[in-house]
Amino acid sequence: MNSVEVPGPKQSVPLANDYVEAGLRFFPHGYPDYVPSPRDHVVIYICDECVRAQQVWKSQHPNWKGQPSQ
């Protein structure tokens, strides 16, 4: 696990349900696409293996952000 500082959210855009479900199951400590925090920056912990699984999932689901399940 590594700690990283990421910017806080600029807008509240919900992610696709199937992406959230896959994230909870396969890459719970991947790099965040949305950080629910009112702060400007937050420190989170990410796992290299989770980041790799997240990248694989995204490459296999190229339209994950634009799905109507948002």
pLDDT tens track for 1-27 = 888 877 665 566 677 788 888 988 999
**55 has pLDDT over 80:** yes
- The residue range of the domain holding 56 is 2-66
pLDDT at 68: 40
pTM tops 0.85, yes or no = no
State the total domains in the chain.
Answer: 1
Rounded mean pLDDT, 29-40: 75
**β strands within 2-70, DSSP E:** 2-7, 41-46
